[in-house]
Amino acid sequence: MSRIGVFVCHCGENISATVDCEKVARITGELKGVEFATDYKYMCSDPGQTLLKEAIKEHKLDGVVVAACSPRMHEPTFRKACAEAGLNPFLCEMSNIREHCSWVHPKDDLTTEKAQDLVRVMVEKVKKNKALNSIKVPVTKTALVIGGGIAGIQAALDIANCGHKVIMVEKLPSIGGHMSQLSETFPTLDCSQCILTPRMVEIAQHPNITLHTFSEVESVDGFIGNFTVNIRKKSKSIDEHDCTGCGLCTTKCPQKKIPNEFERGLGFRPAIYVPFPQAVPNKPVIDRENCTYYIKGKCKVCEIVCPTKAIRFDQEDEIVEVAVGAIVLATGFDVLKSDYFPEYGYGKYKDVIDGLQFERLASASGPTQGEIRRPSDGQIPKKIVFVACAGSRDPAKGIEYCSKICCMYTAKHAMLYKHKVHDGTPYVFYMDIRAGGKMYEEFVRRTIVEDGTHYVRGRVSTIYEKNGKLTVKGADTLMGGIPIEIEADMVVLATAGVANHGAEELAQTVHVSYDAYKFFAEAHPKLKPVETNTAGIFLAGACQAPKDIPESVAAASGAAVKVAALFSNDLLTRDPLVAVVNRQAPPVYSSCVGCFLCQSVCPYQAIEREEIKNRNGEIIKTLARVNEGLCQGCGTCVALCRTKAIDIHGYSSQQVYTEVMALLND
Amino acid sequence: MQEFEPKIVAFVCNWCTYAGADLTGTSRIKYSANVKIIRFPCTGRIDFMILMKAFENGADGIIVSGCHPNDCHYSTGNFHARRRWIVFRNLLNFAGIETDRIQFSWVSAAEGFKWADVVNNTVKKIKEFGPNESYKQIAVSTLFNEEGATHE
């Protein structure tokens, strides 16, 4: 027999104005299993809670129903009070007789009856409640940061400065990401490398940070606080300890005509190379696809010239297994490939380039030492056309979103061009100017007013080459759509920012969801912008959606705080309202038949396979098992399970069916 | 004769519709007292056999409501509920159960007014239908034998 206590709150007059609280307490007090029932003016007040605690002790209550406001408001309050009185907090339930009753109905008998019904439902439910204990999960206080761009760097430094270990994995030979390729940054025209490279060095020198460059994440297993990650360290063909980074090999390598990825194909590099002068680590790697030794079997010039004998032609990839408690994804973005723009001749005409290539031309460390010279013949372009929204906001290209950064960097490009080519004429074709941000609109104004950039509102239909000039055809929609033709020396396309190549595979490897454009999906667009749906995995920067530098940095710091908060305790405490597979001993008697339909519907990859073996080690049954660390308690698996082998604490089948029956049978 | 007051059970998710109904309360929007809410973590948790249990116990109407598509707190639970409902509805139609007595809707945590509308419209509709006699007849013909002994 249960010993349940019912506590009906007046909430001042909020409830008692329309509900006869005394009557509710009196009637529900007569229900089977109710030991004690009372009403009180303010249950949530200090005396109200004391009343509750004393009643629990005095009447030895084994269940509590507080009929008051919404459980979304005060459930934690009353559960805590129960725990303080020695009652398991999960044996306390709330009846919502304020928001769902007294506030929405007039003062009459029906309203009081409804309140009685709602209390009765919870009395019956609480009889089926089980004492539950919070789930404790140990936490490995090491974070993995995937991606070494500005977002990854910021996240790693913030976490490391909180005193936690960080492992950073970067796919390329150097960290730095796209920001290291930029010339100057809007809206202040800070030199990008000047503000970035000190942080790159900080990463390399930080005692809490382990850096794995030229490496990729191979597999991720486990759950929040307890991930096991395999990192593939691709062979660099050099011994990192022996190499001093003198760079002699890179100057002597006979293979010198490989398009330089860092320069976006505007320059060349040897087969043994450091991506850029300020690279971290500043040690070369051998590009095996282009190295003469790997192609023809002979050369080895680098090995001969290396003063420390650090070249290792037979080096193999290495798999490193690490244990981490949290993961920050900061893999950044890519720009749309050239084959998307046949109408603009991108990829066909040398002088039609993209925004990143222009960054390299404008960069003091770029292939032209910062002089704007067109790629075809090295001439200084006197007339230049910038095309904004090249691909963005264009359903025909499959990209309906705004890439967000292009309006600003196009304005910056036009400004930089005017600063370097005083007699030049820049044109910008745009759809709308989106300059929301601190000092952004003022920056665009400066480009237009002070630097005399011609902004033409309209799209470019086609670009073709004629007499060594690029004819740009478009329309000016602010002049009634009159056609415009400009004979330009160079065209810069602000190509859309897209998800990084391989983002989909990585999302599947680390088990996070992604959107239709392959950008990683946040747990909530407003309130959980840096969390993913997988507990313990966070997002930073443009891997989530196009972001500019300040936004990426802010998101990275946000993600770092989430990680630091997770690491602030040795044990992670979670609500035990999770799914559970029935598994009475011996487990072969579980009604789970191992169909694993639950696995396919679980949004959190919380369903694992458990193999039951006999004493000979033969598998006699495979069961589903819920990983309590991952389960978020949605219960989709419960409704789906064909054999009703899976149930959920707090909303068990017994509880909800009891509620329905109690509600309808007074 | 006293006016027919239907018994209506609402199965709602904790994150959107339950919170939406809370907002109806905080906004003091009045609605009919015939509807009583049972809270679920997610519409994806709702095993639709519980709807049958409600009818069996004398419910005249049912509301199932959760987050709008793409707004699910658990990202996909409401899609499972929707899919399940499409299949389940066909089965109920086949069995001769009035599916018009079940109102499936999306009410977000910001839609206090919508919740009152959903409730009031459902109550109005169910009042027009009258008591759920047809389910009782089906239940009687399947669960009771000819002598009227219960199946238990």
Contacts of A639 in chain B (CB under 8 A): 44-48, 80-81, 84
| Three-state DSSP state, B141 | helix
Distance (Å, whole) CA A337 – CA B51: 53
Q: Is residue A488 part of a domain?
A: yes
Answer whether residue B1 is part of any domain: no
Nearest to B47 among A111, A117, A639 (CB): A639
Closest CB to B77: pick one of A634, A660, A663. Answer: A634
CA distance A205 to A161: 12
Preferred mutation among A103, A104, A110 to probe B, highest tally of B CBs within 10 A: A104
Asked whether residue A519 falls in the same domain as residue A492, the answer is no
CA–CA distance, A519 with A498 (Å, rounded to integer): 8
Subunit contact A663:B74, Cβ cutoff 8 A: no
Spell out which residues of chain B touch residue A72, defining contact as CB-CB under 8 Å.
14, 18-19, 22
Domain boundary among the residues A83, A99, A128 is at: A128
Residues A537 and A586 in one domain: no
In whole angstroms, give the CA distance from residue A283 to residue A239: 10
Q: Residue B62: which of B78, B43, B75 has the closest Cα?
A: B43
Q: Do B25 and A103 touch (CB under 8 A)?
A: yes
For testing contact with chain A, the best of B29, B45, B46, B120 (most A CBs within 10 A): B45
- Identify the CA nearest to A232 among candidates A213, A218, A220, A221: A218
CA gap A598, A76 in Å, rounded: 30
Residues A152 and A275 in one domain: no
Residues of chain A found within 8 Å of residue B7, distances taken between Cβ atoms: 664
Residue A222: both structure tokens together: 């486990």
CATH of the domain at A105: 3.40.50
Interface test with B, best of A96, A100, A520 (most B CBs within 10 A): A100
Largest CA distance in chain B: 53
Task: Determine the pLDDT at residue A363.
Answer: 94
Work out the angle between the directed axes of helices B17-26 and A71-84 (0-180°, nearest 10).
100
Q: How far from each other are the two terminal CA atoms of chain B, in whole angstroms?
A: 34
Question: At A593, which amino acid appears?
Answer: V
CB count, 10 Å around CB of A465? 15
Q: Select the residue of B18, B31, B45 nearest A639 (Cβ to Cβ).
A: B45
How far is residue B40's CA from residue B42's CA, in Å, rounded to a whole number?
5
How high is the pLDDT of residue B143? 55
Domain of A353: which CATH number?
A: 3.50.50.60
Distances (CA, A) of A136 to A130, A497, A626, B24: 18, 41, 15, 37
CA–CA min distance A248, chain B (Å): 54
Domain that holds residue A187: 142-234+317-332+500-566
Which residues of chain A make contact with B54, given a CB cutoff of 8 A? Answer: 660, 664
Q: Shortest Cα distance from B23 to chain A (angstroms)?
A: 7
**Are A116 and A215 part of one and the same domain?**
no
The helix (H) or strand (E) run that includes residue A218 is: strand A215-223
Q: Give the number of domains in chain B.
A: 1
Residue A644 identity (one-letter amino acid) = K
Cα–Cα nearest to B19, from B56, B71, B54: B71
For tokens 């630091």, the residue is A564
Residue from the list B33, B50, B59 with its beta carbon closest to the beta carbon of A657: B50
Question: What are the tokens at B53?
Answer: 């249990």
What is the mean pLDDT of the segment spanning B30-49?
94
Bridge-based pairing of strands A490-495 and A352-354 is parallel
- Cβ A636–B42 below 8 Å, yes or no? yes
The phi and psi torsions of A429 (rounded to 5 degrees) equal -90, 125
Look up residue A457 and give its amino acid. R
The number of residues making up chain B comes to 152
Instruction: Please tell me the distance from the alpha carbon of residue A517 to that of residue A515, in angstroms, as a whole number.
Output: 5
Whether A374 is in a domain gets the answer yes
Q: Compute the nearest-CA separation of A526 from chain B (Å).
A: 11
* Contact at CB, A639 and B84, closer than 8 angstroms: yes
CA A11, distance to chain mean position in Å, is 42
Cross-chain residue pair A114–B75, CB shorter than 8 Å: no
Interface test with B, best of A660, A661, A665, A666 (most B CBs within 10 A): A660
Nearest one of A237, A265, A263 to A250, comparing CA atoms: A237
Classified as helix, coil or strand, A425 is strand
- Residues from chain A contacting residue B37 (CB–CB below 8 Å): 96, 100
Question: Does residue B40 form part of some domain?
Answer: yes
Q: What is the mean pLDDT of residues B47-57?
A: 92
**Domain count along chain A:** 5
* pLDDT confidence of residue A267: 92
Q: Is residue A587 part of a domain?
A: yes
Q: First and final CA of chain A: distance in angstroms?
A: 20
Q: And the tokens for A433? A: 């100017």
| Min Cα–Cα distance to chain A from B40, Å | 7
CB-CB under 8 Å, A661 with B74? no
Nearest CA in chain A to B25: A99
| Chain-chain contact of A657 with B57 (C-beta, under 8 angstroms) | no
Contact A612, A621 (CB under 8 A): yes
Do residues A366 and A445 share a domain?
Answer: yes
To probe the interface with B, which of A14, A102, A113, A636 has the most B CB atoms within 10 Å? A636
* Residues A368 and A460 both lie in one domain: yes
Which residues on chain B are in Cβ contact (under 8 Å) with A661? 53, 57
ipTM of the complex: 0.92
- Contacts of residue A285, Cβ cutoff 8 Å, sequence gap at least 6: A173, A214, A236, A237, A238, A272, A273
Burial environment of residue A191 by CB neighbours within 10 A (0 to 12, 13 to 18, 19 or more): middle
Residue B73 resides in a domain: yes
In this predicted structure, the answer to whether residue B152 has a pLDDT above a threshold of 60 is: no
Residue A659 lies in a domain: no
Contacts of A628 by beta carbon, 8 Å cutoff, 6+ apart: A135, A137, A574, A576, A578
- Say yes or no to pLDDT of B139 above 70: no
- Per-residue pLDDT for B146 more than 50? no
pTM of the model: 0.77
Residue B120 located in a structural domain: yes
Task: Verify whether the Cβ–Cβ distance B74 to A603 is below 8 Å.
Answer: yes
A102 is a domain residue: yes
Looking at the structure, tell me whether residues A344 and A451 fall in a common domain. Answer: yes
Give the residue numbers in B contacting A (CB under 8 Å), as ranges.
5, 7, 9, 14, 18-19, 21-22, 24-26, 28-31, 33, 36-42, 44-48, 50, 53-54, 57-59, 73-77, 80-81, 84, 116
| Amino acid making up residue A285 | V
Q: Are residues B45 and A661, on separate chains, in Cβ contact within 8 Å?
A: no
**8 Å CB contact between A311 and A238:** yes
Contact A660 B9 (CB under 8 A): yes
Kindly state whether residues A328 and A449 are assigned to the same domain.
no
Which one, of A650, A578, A569, A632, lies nearest residue A88 by Cα? A650
Residue B84 lies inside a defined structural domain of this protein: yes
**Taking CB atoms and an 8 Å limit, are A656 and B38 in contact across chains?**
yes
Which two tokens mark A580? 């559970």
What pLDDT band is residue B96 in, cutting at 50, 70 and 90? Answer: confident
CB contact under 8 A, A640 and B80: yes
Residue B2 lies in a domain: no
In this complex, which of B26, B31, B45 lies closest to A635 when CB atoms are compared?
B45
Closest partner CB to A660 (pick from B33, B38, B39): B38
pLDDT at B149 over 50: no
Chain B residues lying within 8 Å of A121, measured CB to CB = 36, 38
In a domain, A661, yes or no: no
Same domain, A18 and A101: yes
Same domain, A253 and A284: yes
Contact A635 B42 (CB under 8 A): yes
Query: Count of CB contacts below 8 A, A vs B?
Result: 128
Distance CA A47, CA A52 (A): 9
Residue A523 · residue A536 · CB < 8 Å: no
Per the CB < 8 A criterion, the answer to whether A366 and A183 are in contact is: yes
Chain B: nearest CA to A598, how far in angstroms? 12
The answer to whether A636 contacts B19, with C-beta atoms less than 8 Å apart, is: no
From A121's Cα to the closest Cα of chain B, the distance in A is: 9
Long-range Cβ contacts of B129-135 (<8 Å, 24+ apart): B129/B60, B129/B61, B129/B98, B129/B100, B129/B101, B130/B4, B131/B4, B131/B6, B131/B60, B132/B55, B132/B58, B132/B59, B132/B60, B132/B61, B132/B98, B132/B101, B134/B96, B134/B97, B134/B98, B135/B55, B135/B56, B135/B97, B135/B98
Query: How far is it, in rounded angstroms, from Cα A17 to Cα A102?
Result: 8
On whether residue B151 sits in a domain, the answer given is: no
DSSP state of A183: S
- Position A636 in a domain: yes
Residues of A whose CB is below 8 A from B74 = 533, 603-604, 632, 634, 636
User: Residue A664 is nearest to which of B7, B21, B44, comparing CB atoms?
Assistant: B7
Q: Is residue A515 in some structural domain?
A: yes
Strand pairing category for A318-324 and A226-233: antiparallel
Tokens of A469: 């000039």
Mean pLDDT for back-to-back runs of 10 residues, chain A (666 residues)? 93 94 95 95 95 96 95 92 96 96 94 95 95 91 97 98 97 96 95 95 97 96 90 95 94 93 94 94 95 93 94 95 97 87 90 95 93 94 95 90 96 96 96 95 96 95 93 94 95 95 91 88 87 91 96 97 95 89 80 92 90 90 89 93 93 95 90
CATH of the domain at B41: 3.40.50
Same domain, A256 and A122: no
Q: Are residues A154 and A124 in the same domain?
A: no
| Residue tagged 């904004």 (tokens) | A388
* Residue B17 counted as domain residue: yes
